[in-house]
Structure 1
């Protein structure tokens, strides 16, 4: 199984429409991949708080339309990163979109843990409350977004729901890059699942981004890691390695606290 993470930059001199077109072209170039991933809030920038309301869009808005077409033309499963969704109620959400190779919106996920400590995203956006897994035919995966990475109980819930991998788009600051790498590996190791974490390059509203998108296997080994700039990170995965790891080192079955061990699919 081949996965491609598109670590793009959010340039303030580039219009949102132009960036949508550029991202769609990059998706089309990944024809032959089995999964393509974009970062968090790439249309506007994860720290561009003052632009959230103006650049918000309905779930099936401009980004949805462009990404659905790109997924269909490339014939890829596409995690299209996240958008600022304006719900019918008027509330804003940090919402991820996942498309099938036919261009169908298979799942959407509203970010549960909002970053900001009573500022920024934490006050401007509402919180989601549903765990989301995607029935990818080769590697069913759970969806989380950026700050969610710091909350291991979310990932346990995704494992219980059948996830064999996690896909985490992010707009992670460079000053906390060490946490990004550490947490990505920790979530993979403790859940014996692949981790595909896709960040952004450049800066968001003056906040330097970490980049360093990373793919970790179920044993915690880093299979591929990007640099700080714009980059397409492509890696081949072996879906069978998840069950192999869980069979050879069956730590999940020894869980005592919290929810019961996951049922083998």
Structure 2
């Protein structure tokens, strides 16, 4: 049994302060969580962004950050995957680099991000990591010896990826199938704008989510009608401005609660009103949020950009595509434990991280998950559980490598097909 801890830390502009904060949180992970394997987030010593990589880059392992985390690992006698840092290589190129240290503070190895984050979502988000970083050339995993009292196997193998790498199952499958890894760790900084809107309604996160703008308009019209107020927004989708009658009184939370409760009845617009159980778990959040939103519009007339992103109650809320889903998918693909460690969410930073670091079991179950703020999460890496999963559904030994590697005939026909067959 091994205790894994992920440190979701707030990252600022001061490199020394970031490293000091990482050290303090590592101390807490050891003392409060009994962690032996600890992972830091992507770019834990610097803000994340192409405009920062050059100025924050340092050599590995001779730079100040690596020297500091080496000492931290030695002091606490832990295995430390030091998230990632901007590295200035001997070739003069910049890399997004993860370094791992053993309990003696010795560098075990480094991993340079293989798949660079180059995407463009029209009208929403654009980012090109390759404008300043170069990609790595090889994967990296390490073996962590277990105590003599632990059962077989005597080592745990840990494969490393960084953020966008998790979207490429080939890397995870390589670690699991070719190198026998039991744990996959992905320091990552997903952005909420790498997002879509879902066709579902979620109450647990306090969000009402829709993918069709016309439905958004109907919801907005519904609230305007319920409160007997003039149009609440000039733009439902962005909602940066509001037009209100100055003679209206600011609503009480009780009044807001009553008006929102109508959503769970037949008067809710469309077929997807809140049903009672969902309203019970998400209702209080919605009331608090809407009360604050209405008050902001009522008092200031202009709704700030942050309210624009947080939506109407929120009716329309951007969420990162596949963050948790990818963790579950890679866990199921590989039958490994998967850890995804993010920086904490900071709405004032140039690049906003989604946060919500998580650990997923080989069965695809999230066994630990953080919120948006700074937090340490941990879970046991249970090799007996991993063995049970792999024996119950033995995909590892059922792979058809003879088929996967079969060359395709030049004429496109199946090798067993004969002329004139049907």
Equivalent-residue separation in structure 2 for 1:184 and 1:259 (angstroms): 27
How does 1:168-179 map onto structure 2 within 5 Å? Answer: 168-175=186-193, 176=195, 177-179=320-322
**TM-score with structure 1 length normalisation?**
0.92
Q: Distance in 2 between matches of 1:36 and 1:197?
A: 12
Q: Quote the Cα distance in structure 2 between the aligned partners of 1:201 and 1:174.
A: 12
1:191 aligns with 2:334: yes
Of the candidates 371, 375, 384, which is equivalent to residue 240 of structure 1?
A: 384
Is the contact between residue 5 and residue 213 of structure 1 (CA under 8 Å) also seen in structure 2? yes
When the two structures are superposed, what TM-score results if normalisation uses the length of structure 2? Answer: 0.58
The partner residue of 1:40 within 19, 38, 42 is: 42
Q: Which runs of 5+ in 2 are unaligned?
A: 121-126, 147-155, 196-319, 407-422
How many residue pairs get aligned? The number is 257
Contact 1:30 1:74 in 2 (8 A): no
* Aligned residue number for residue 6 of structure 1: 7
- Once the two structures are superposed, residues 136-174 of structure 1 have per-residue CA deviations (whole angstroms, 9 ceiling, x without a partner) of 124211100000010001111111111111011011112
Name the SS of the counterpart of 1:18 in structure 2.
helix
Q: How does 1:17-166 map to 2 (within 5 A)?
A: 17-31=16-30, 32-46=34-48, 48-60=49-61, 61-117=63-119, 120-138=128-146, 139-159=156-176, 160-166=178-184
Q: For the Cα contact (< 8 Å) 1:171–1:199, is it kept in 2?
A: yes
Task: Give the CA RMSD over aligned residues.
Answer: 1.8
205, 210, 217: which one aligns with 2:361: 217
Q: CA deviation at 1:52?
A: 0.9
Pick the structure with greater CA Rg: 2
The alpha carbon displacement at 1:83 in A equals: 0.8
Q: Is the 8 A contact 1:29 1:74 kept in 2?
A: no
Relative contact order higher in (CA < 8 Å, ≥ 6 apart): 1
User: Deviation at 1:28?
Assistant: 2.4
Deviates more, 1:181-190 or 1:194-203: 194-203
Greater alpha carbon shift after TM alignment, 196-205 vs 213-222: 196-205
Per the alignment, residue 226 of structure 1 pairs with: 370
Match of 2:317 in 1: none
- Alpha-carbon deviations, 1:15-73, whole Å to 9, x = none? 11111111112212333311111000121122x21121111000021110110011111
